């Protein structure tokens, strides 16, 4: 699903001025996602396009057949929380070695010019299983090099495409190659629009710093980048469910002043930061006046989504509290809880947030990230006794 920045852009400029023509030659879409999220992706696409049906799929990868009277543009937006990357599928590259497959990739693409090459592996395990983290692998980097070497029109590639770590610019056409297996490559393409679509496989390359006290550092950093929440430097940010403190560390590294709310112990390295305050309580036990000077809220509590949203609602709807934007992790204890996400988004909108979006981040486990922003931000009138 689109970042808040993309939602804002779409409100201002309907459509893209650089939109390529409809592509009648591709009658399949591809989506890559976390292993386990495939049914959630299928349900989302079925709700949006009832005549688009799932075809070939593997764990973490689904292709969909598009009916002939329903051609898709390469900038199509699946509006899916669980699709990490999506595009038009052109089929599998053939060949016994990577050089042959690389030539086959360009034959499948045909005369279509692209500015960038994205290559990534499908996930081979559930996130967290045996410490697996979805990422661009050395095999993907190697395959990408072979594909770039075989490019028949290298002058059309963007100069900075040499470095796979650099994102596509908005509007660029991107060749997509998914390593389904090391020797089985699925080829497609898409037009970069949203933040996620600018990165190979929707994965932003980032490394957790050695001093990070939990992998929540990665989730917070990715959530901030995906959502593009316009949090000004030195803002106060409250975090519900802050222990042991990786996400707080990420917020502190951006120069924010962080108030962590959690009955559990914070790591001493986080407590030592003068810009961090720990309220060692449950969210419901914090007096509302503690939130008076705070305009940004994040939440990552290991409780059911309804409980998280109850706790957040009690804060943001209080007459003396003015929260402008939020990043909320919603845990999906069972995958069936995915069907309730549209209701959760509507609930957050009903509190006065007009830009609301959700995505299963690369670093999320069985959970999603919900971003909300009130834009423009209208403060509640000050209540005087």
Residue 308 found at the interface with ligand SAM (CB under 6 A): no
Q: How far is the CB of 208 from ligand SAM (least distance, A)?
A: 12
- Residue of the chain from 36, 246, 305, 325 that contacts ligand SAM (CB under 6 A): 246
Q: Which residues pair with 329 in a beta bridge?
A: 369
Other Cβ atoms less than 10 A from the Cβ of 100: the count is: 14
Q: How far is the CB of 272 from ligand SAM (least distance, A)?
A: 16
Interface stretch with ligand SAM, choices 129-137, 196-204, 237-245, 337-345 (CB under 6 A): 237-245
Q: How far is the CB of 41 from ligand SAM (least distance, A)?
A: 24
Helix, strand, coil % over all residues of the chain, rounded to 5: 30, 20, 45
Rank residues 177 and 216 by Cβ distance to ligand SAM and give the closer one: 216
Rank residues 204 and 218 by Cβ distance to ligand SAM and give the closer one: 218
Instruction: Give dist(CA 127, CA 362) in Å, integer.
Output: 9
Interface stretch with ligand SAM, choices 135-143, 243-251, 318-326, 337-345 (CB under 6 A): 243-251
Instruction: Give dist(CA 34, CA 125) in Å, integer.
Output: 8
Dig out the tokens for 125 from the structure. 């395990």
Instruction: Give dist(CA 174, CA 200) in Å, integer.
Output: 9
Q: Which residues pair with 154 in a beta bridge?
A: none
List binders of ligand SAM among 281-300 (CB under 6 A): 282-283, 300
Residue 243 found at the interface with ligand SAM (CB under 6 A): yes
List binders of ligand SAM among 202-221 (CB under 6 A): 214, 216
Q: How far is the CB of 217 from ligand SAM (least distance, A)?
A: 7
Residue 302 found at the interface with ligand SAM (CB under 6 A): yes
> What one-character DSSP code corresponds to residue 318?
S
Q: How far is the CB of 244 from ligand SAM (least distance, A)?
A: 5
Binding mask 247-276 for ligand SAM (x = CB under 6 A): xx------------xxxx------------
- Residue of the chain from 245, 321, 327, 370 that contacts ligand SAM (CB under 6 A): 245
Query: Which residue, chain included where needed, has tokens 């005369």?
Result: 111
Half-sphere exposure of 126 (CA within 13 A, CB side): 7
In terms of C-beta density within 10 A (0-12 exposed, 13-18 middle, 19 or more buried), how is residue 171 classed? middle
Q: How far is the CB of 251 from ligand SAM (least distance, A)?
A: 9
Instruction: Give dist(CA 289, CA 287) in Å, integer.
Output: 5
The string over 10-23, giving b where at least 16 C-beta atoms fall within 10 Å of a residue's C-beta and e elsewhere, is eeeeeeeeeeeeeb
Residue 222 found at the interface with ligand SAM (CB under 6 A): no
Residue 19 found at the interface with ligand SAM (CB under 6 A): no
Q: How far is the CB of 128 from ligand SAM (least distance, A)?
A: 12
Using CB under 6 A as the binding criterion, the count of chain residues that bind ligand SAM stands at: 22
The strands making up 367-373's β-sheet, listed across from edge to edge, are: 276-279, 257-261, 236-240, 296-299, 325-331, 367-373, 355-359
- The beta-strand segments (E) located in 253-373 are 257-261, 276-279, 296-299, 325-331, 355-359, 367-373
- Chain residues in the site for ligand SAM (CB under 6 A): 214, 216, 240-248, 261-264, 282-283, 300-303, 311
């Amino acid at each position: 699903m689109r970042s808040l920045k993309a939602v804002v852009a779409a409100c201002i400029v309907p459509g893209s001025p650089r939109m390529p023509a409809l592509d009648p030659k591709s009658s399949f879409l591809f989506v890559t996602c976390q292993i386990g999220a495939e049914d959630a992706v299928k349900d989302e696409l079925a709700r949006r396009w009832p005549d688009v049906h799932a075809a070939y799929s593997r764990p973490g990868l689904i292709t969909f057949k598009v009916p002939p009277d329903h051609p898709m543009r390469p900038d199509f937006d699946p509006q899916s929380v669980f699709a990490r990357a999506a595009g038009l599928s052109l089929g599998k590259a053939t060949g016994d070695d990577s050089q042959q497959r690389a030539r086959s990739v360009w034959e499948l693409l045909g005369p279509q010019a692209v500015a960038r090459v994205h290559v990534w592996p499908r996930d081979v395990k559930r996130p967290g299983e045996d410490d697996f983290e979805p990422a661009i692998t050395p095999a993907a980097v190697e395959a990408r090099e072979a594909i770039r070497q075989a490019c028949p029109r290298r002058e059309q590639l963007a100069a900075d495409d040499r470095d796979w770590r650099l994102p596509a610019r908005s509007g660029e056409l991107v060749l997509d190659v998914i390593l389904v297996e090391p020797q089985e490559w699925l080829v497609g393409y898409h037009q970069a629009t949203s933040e996620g679509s600018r990165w190979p496989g929707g994965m932003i390359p980032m490394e957790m710093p050695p001093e990070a006290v939990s992998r929540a550092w990665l989730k917070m950093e990715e959530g901030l980048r995906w959502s593009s929440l316009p949090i000004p430097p030195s803002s106060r940010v409250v975090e519900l469910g802050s222990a042991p403190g990786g996400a707080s560390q990420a917020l502190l590294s951006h120069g924010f002043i962080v108030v962590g709310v959690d009955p559990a112990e914070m790591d001493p390295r986080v407590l030592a930061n003068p810009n961090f305050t720990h309220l060692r309580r449950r969210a419901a036990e914090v007096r509302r006046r503690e939130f008076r000077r705070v305009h940004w809220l994040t939440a990552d509590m290991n409780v059911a989504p309804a409980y998280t949203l109850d706790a957040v609602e009690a804060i943001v709807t209080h007459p003396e509290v003015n929260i402008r934007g939020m990043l909320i992790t919603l845990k999906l204890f069972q995958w069936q809880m995915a069907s309730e996400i549209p209701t959760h988004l509507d609930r957050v909108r009903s509190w006065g947030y007009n830009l609301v979006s959700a995505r299963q981040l690369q670093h999320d486990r069985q959970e999603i990230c919900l971003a909300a922003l009130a834009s423009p931000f209208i403060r509640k009138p000050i209540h005087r006794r």
